[in-house]
């Protein structure tokens, strides 16, 4: 949720779409991993569900960090 909010902030800060393409793709991958984890959990495959989310977490954190840096940089340039 935090990364998605940062993506919206980056979009409203008018950061070039090419710059936010990587983080946007990471968020889409994270959504896919979440769906897979939910499906695995529903089947009772708790280890697979945990593994799916554990693998996705670092990518999502990196995307959020990158987006925050882009927004901060854009704000400093406008002042």
C-alpha–C-alpha distance, residues 79 and 67, integer Å: 19
pLDDT given for residue 76 in this prediction:
72
In a domain, 7, yes or no: no
C-alpha–C-alpha distance, residues 8 and 30, integer Å: 16
Q: State which residues form the domain around 43.
A: 19-74
In a domain, 55, yes or no: yes
16 phi/psi in degrees, rounded to 5:
-55, 135
In a domain, 1, yes or no: no
In a domain, 4, yes or no: no
Tens of pLDDT along the chain (79 residues)? 688 999 999 999 889 999 999 999 999 999 999 999 999 999 999 999 999 999 999 999 999 999 999 998 877 766 5
User: pTM (2 decimals)?
Assistant: 0.78
3-class DSSP state for residue 25?
helix
Is residue 34 within 8 Å of 54, Cβ to Cβ? no
Q: How many domains, the chain? A: 1
């Amino acid at each position: 949720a935090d990364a998605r909010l940062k993506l919206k902030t980056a979009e409203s800060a008018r950061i070039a779409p090419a710059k936010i393409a990587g983080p946007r793709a990471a968020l889409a991958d994270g959504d896919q991993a979440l769906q897979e984890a939910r499906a695995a959990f529903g089947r009772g495959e708790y280890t697979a569900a945990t593994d799916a989310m554990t693998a996705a977490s670092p990518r999502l954190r990196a995307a959020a960090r990158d987006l925050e840096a882009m927004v901060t940089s854009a704000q400093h340039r406008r002042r």
